[in-house]
Structure 1
Amino acid sequence: MPHLRSIVLTVAVASVTGLGLVPTADAATVRYVALGDSYSSGVGAGSYIASSGDCDRSPNAYSALWAAAHSPTSYVSVACSGAKTTDVLNNQISALSSSTTLVSITIGGNDENFANIMQDCNLKGTTTCVNEINAAKADATANLPAKLAKVYNAIKAKAPSAHVVVLGYPEFYDLAKSCIGLSQASRTAIDSGIDLLDSLTKTAATAAGFTFGDVRSAFAGHEICDSGRWLHSVNILDIEESYHPTATGQKSGYLPVFSAKA
């Protein structure tokens, strides 16, 4: 018969596991660096850290939440709002070292002019929206894989022992629902652009030997037009947070996907 203490310990561990708070193996030795763009810095999640300036890093971002739950040896986020692949190479890679054991990153959307396209979709109508997305998809297909490969190779060079988790982007719209705003044609085009971006990212990450975390299914049922959405729609009072995850989107969408891959 198992010892009572063993039974209590097993139950306790199982309970914590159910909350998703059990540290990964040897979490105390993890040295974690978060790289990337606004989806990693936490734009839209609020409570921005003053010292992060225009990078708008939030303690509600998935990387900060993971670090708070797992207490790694070290954690730093250099993710920054508006970052492109060149910004990662020029301004963020230096945060890595040979002692880094865990890296996360979202990158690629800004290389395809994400913010301006979404602005035009809202201001200039369906034809402009669809045309710009199609042009971005063509550019991404032709050029983004090489840009991503350059970033991933740089990560491997600076942190050769690190486990690297590359996260994708959520689809913005639940196409089965209708709501005020963009036309169905624009919404369909936007989601198709995100799907292509995620597909290219997954292929490049896998080729680099990294782990890809697809967040689309996590956000399913919580997209714009859903009553319990985890994404900001257009916010004219804070335009930057538009189309970014809320604090709940970071906690309930990105964090579980990252935790499962870390």
Structure 2
Amino acid sequence: MRLVRTLSALALSAVAVVTGGALASAAPLAVNYAALGDSYAAGVGTAGSYDNSCDRNAKSYPSLWASAHSVSNFTFVACSGAKTSDVINNQVGSLSSANTVVTVTIGGNDAGFTSVMGSCILGGDSGCRTAVDNATNFVNNSLPGLLDNTYRAIRSHAPNATVYVLGYPRFYQLGGSCSVGLSDTSRGLINGGADSLDSVISAAAGRAGFRFVDVRSNFTSHGICSSSWWINSVSWPVVNSYHPNASGYASGYLPALSSATG
């Protein structure tokens, strides 16, 4: 009987060791998160005023995701007005081999987002078509190389991270009446430009081995001129114009990123 008790004790000890090891291995890994990009990553569109030169704020999708996932370290360097060159020159230096997750939204400013909207508002359908066509030509022919360089820089500085590239929403809900001054023709042209931009960004992300996060379906029925806007039209302060509002980041961007990251 003593031998049986001894063997039983040894068996229980072995089970405890194995179980303890399994529990230890199942413990969640620390998340070291860095957020790069432009105003869409910074969270522009949500605040009446901003307390830093980059317009970063707590209602941005990176801040919301970091809070929801209890990250161990959060580096937030996205900046309003940033282009691909700014990510390379001013943002990737904040990355390191310790990063496990990196997000980025970039490319809209390279494509002349602000000037396109100005042309569409002031130039009518003809001016809008010319502006969108010029921007789309740049997006298709020049932006891919700029994105490739940017994504290589991100990978070089954060070799161990899973990188998520978030795109841009379509701005407008087409059809019906809307008092923002643009025709459905111009609204459709602008939406088509957003689709071209997302297509090129998605392809570049794929070449880099990054994951593209498409937010467009989340914004369906919530564009400008819908019954429930998640994107600002012309707003005050002006910087908020044509950016998601708080609902856009919380209900559009955050669920898309959370779904992608699991």
User: Given the two structures, how large is their TM-score scaled by the length of structure 1?
Assistant: 0.86
Contact 1:49 1:59 in 2 (8 A): no
Letter in structure 2 aligned against 1:78: V
How far apart are 1:252 and its partner, in Å?
A: 0.3
Matched with 1:14 is none
Aligned mates of 1:217, 1:177 — CA distance in 2: 20
Alignment correspondent of 1:109: 108
Q: Distance in 1 between matches of 2:103 and 2:167?
A: 11
Larger Rg: 2
**In structure 1, C-alpha distance between the alignment counterparts of 2:27 and 2:124, rounded to whole Å:** 52
* 1:54-86, Cα deviation, whole Å (9 max, x unpaired): x10010001101111211110021001111000
Partner of residue 33, structure 2: 32
Question: Equivalent residue for 1:122?
Answer: 121
**Contact 2:232/2:241 (CA < 8 Å) preserved in 1?**
yes
How big is the shift at 1:178?
2.9
Deviation per CA, 1:77-112: give whole Å up to 9, x if none: 100111100010110011100111100010000001
Q: Secondary structure at the match of 1:111?
A: coil
Aligned counterparts of 2:69 and 2:49: Cα–Cα separation in 1: 21
Cα distance, 1:128 vs structure 2: 1.1
State the Cα distance separating 1:239 from its structure 2 match. Answer: 1.5
Match runs of 1:1-262 below 5 Å: 29-46=30-47, 50=51, 52-53=52-53, 55-180=54-179, 181-235=181-235, 237-262=236-261
Does the Cα contact within 8 Å between 2:49 and 2:237 map onto a contact in 1?
Answer: no
TM-score between the two structures when normalised by the length of structure 2: 0.86
Gaps of 5+ in 1: 1-24
User: Aligned with 1:34: secondary structure?
Assistant: strand
Summarize the Cα distance change of 1:124–1:47 in structure 2 as closer, same or farther, 3 Å threshold: closer
| In structure 1, C-alpha distance between the alignment counterparts of 2:125 and 2:70, rounded to whole Å | 47
Question: For residues 107-141 of structure 1, what are the alpha-carbon distances to aligned partners after superposition, in whole Å with 9 as ceiling and x for unaligned?
Answer: 00000110111122112222111101101101110
Q: Is the 8 A contact 1:93 1:154 kept in 2?
A: yes
For the Cα contact (< 8 Å) 1:27–1:73, is it kept in 2?
Answer: no
Task: Between 114-123 and 59-68, report the one with greater CA deviation.
Answer: 114-123
SS in 1 for 2:103: strand
Query: Does the Cα contact within 8 Å between 2:32 and 2:100 map onto a contact in 1?
Result: yes
Give CA-to-partner distance per residue, 1:21-43, whole Å, 9 cap, x none: xxxx8655110000000000000
Change (3 A) 1:227 1:26: farther
- Quick one: which amino acid aligns to residue 175 of structure 2? A
**Following the alignment from structure 1 to structure 2, what is the Cα–Cα distance between the partners of residues 104 and 26?**
24
Q: Letter of the aligned partner of 1:138 in structure 2?
A: N
Instruction: Name the aligned partner's letter for residue 243 of structure 1.
Output: Y
Assess if the C-alpha contact under 8 Å between 2:175 and 2:184 holds in 1: no
Instruction: Provide, for residues 223-253 of structure 1, a one-character-per-residue CA deviation record: whole Å limited to 9, x for no partner.
Output: 0001111000112x32111110001100000
Amino acid in structure 2 at the alignment position of 1:130: R
Displacement of 1:177 after TM fit?
3.4
Query: Contact 1:28 / 1:71 at 8 angstroms: preserved in 2?
Result: no
The count of residues paired between Structure 1 and Structure 2 equals 235
Amino acid at match of 1:94: G
Distance in 1 (CA, whole Å) between partners of 2:202 and 2:144 is 10
CA contact (8 A) 1:47 1:59 kept: no
Identity percentage of aligned residues:
49
Q: Which amino acid aligns with 1:34?
A: A
Kindly state the Cα deviation for residue 47 of structure 1 after the two structures are TM-superposed: 6.5
